[in-house]
Structure 1
Amino acid sequence: MKLVASGERFRVIDDFLPSDQLDEVRSLMQQRQFEKVSSIVYPEGDGDALRSRGALLRQDAVALSTDAQEPNKLPSAYQAVLRELHSHSDMFGMPGEDWSVIGFSFWQYPAGSRLGWHNDVAAGRQGEFVFFLHEEWKASWSGELLILDADPADIDVDDADLTPLEVVEVKASLAPHCLTAIVPKPNRLVLVKEGTIHCIQRVDHTAGEILRQTMTGFVAANAPELWHKSASSKVDRLASLLGSN
């Protein structure tokens, strides 16, 4: 594991998991059922992606809904993700105080799909992570995670008659900052601060049948009502809270 890049609003960690844990999380992903979902950013132009049902973990490593065979016993790969999130309190805040849960899903982007400019702002979110799980990726297949490493509040635009998503794209277009392109290298973990403007570049047709595969999740503040519901309703409630996308 090594930190290979960082900025004001993101960090990139390569070789995140040892091979046995990486195989474990890939196996967990393959066991999931995926559904085709339309983009919530630009459904007409982004193309469809595939998303698994969400899962919910507490920051103290208690499983509310996971793939584990035993109650409250987390797969080691999930534990590794939680430990890493704990170690970046300067980005996400203090676990147990500023955030208490993570909600995540597995995502697959086929050739021709993308996700337009957005900033994932939602009540309770402290940030997000993207963990690339495909077994191979060539740079020519594109699918980069593009990040605007600047505070959106510092970029002034005339937002009259613009939707929130249009404002985000205008800010990305007019910002005096260079965009950071993060290639979706296998076993690469990307941490992103809440509210950061970003997008997923369209996966090139030369990727063929290879899917851009990720475990993507959000770090969120506590939602006390979750702990008094069934496991399935907890997941659905957090997915609604986080707007998992």
Structure 2
Amino acid sequence: MNLVCANSQFAVFDDLLPQDEFEQFWAMYRRSEFKSVHAERLRPSFRASDGHPYIGEYVVWTQTAIESLLPPGVSPSALPARFCPTGKAYDTLIDRVRKHALPGCADLVGREGRDWVGILGRLYAYPVGSSITWHSDHLEVTGSFIYYTNPEWNVQWGGELFVADESALGQMTGDYTTLRFDTRHETEVLMRSGTGHYIMPKPNRLVLVGPGSPHKVAKVLPAAGDQMRASFAGFFITAPGVGQLVEQLRPR
């Protein structure tokens, strides 16, 4: 694992997994089931113009037994999520992130047990024409992560992760209505500097993003053909955030 870049907003690690484990994760990804990102509900982070990304199942790791973090009367079996240890390649990836990437990034995404108590992730697949618009993460989280599992990526295929300039940190606090009709607040915040960073979806790359940084995924371009931007992405969740997560996952 190699630290490629780190600043006050994000850190980038290449070659996170040994090659055999990377191939095992990709094999699991290919066998996984996906559904439309809007299958459960309309998600305000995605606009109508963001196309049709796909998502996999929720995967949850917690520092202590998940039962101790759940509200009274709520059983893990009642939640539509897979809890670690899963017996799948998720376990190896999450273990390596925790033990090798996170210890040196406590100032960026917080410290396990002190600032956050759990990890929530799921697989994402972005086909041609799909993206995710500018947004900030508003759950009780101390940061987010993206792991790129696609075995190949070409610089002409798009799908870059954009992170806004540090001056926008914590500024994108507008009301995310379901269909995102009004973008004036976002435009005002991001155009003050009008600059930022981009990160390519390089295979076997891990990106950690600190809280409050507006970010987006650029559209996957027609040159990608049938190739998809493949990732496992999610958040580092605080104890109150686990309660919020449960409320989101509970069947209605």
TM-score normalised to structure 2 length: 0.78
Whether 1:218 and 2:227 are equivalent positions in the alignment is: no
1: CA distance between counterparts of 2:146 and 2:46?
20
* More off after superposition, 131-140 vs 24-33: 24-33
Instruction: Pick closer, same or farther for the CA change 1:2–1:199 going to 2, 3 Å.
Output: same
Report Cα offsets for 1:17-39 as digits up to 9, x if no partner: 11122122223323321001245
Aligned length: 227
Report Cα offsets for 1:196-239 as digits up to 9, x if no partner: 1011101001100000000001001014976xxxxxxx9x6276
2: CA distance between counterparts of 1:52 and 1:156?
27
Residue 152 of structure 1: aligned partner: 168
Instruction: Pick closer, same or farther for the CA change 1:67–1:106 going to 2, 3 Å.
Output: farther
Task: Note the 1:1-245 alignment, pairs <5 A.
Answer: 1-38=1-38, 40-59=44-63, 65-66=83-84, 68-69=86-87, 75-83=91-99, 84-122=101-139, 124-152=140-168, 166-172=184-190, 174-176=191-193, 178-223=195-240, 237=246, 240=249
2: CA distance between counterparts of 1:22 and 1:143?
20
Aligned-residue RMSD, C-alpha: 3.4
**1:237 aligned partner, one-letter code:** V
**2:26 aligned partner, one-letter code:** R
2: CA distance between counterparts of 1:54 and 1:225?
13
Q: Any idea what SS the aligned residue of 1:106 has?
A: strand
1: CA distance between counterparts of 2:10 and 2:227?
26
What are the ranges of 5 or more consecutive residues in structure 2 without an aligned counterpart? Answer: 68-81
Residues 25 and 90 in structure 2, CA contact (< 8 A), matched pair in contact too: no
Share of identical aligned residues, percent?
Answer: 26
Displacement of 1:176 in angstroms is 2.0
Q: Any idea what SS the aligned residue of 1:40 has?
A: coil
Instruction: Pick closer, same or farther for the CA change 1:59–1:81 going to 2, 3 Å.
Output: farther
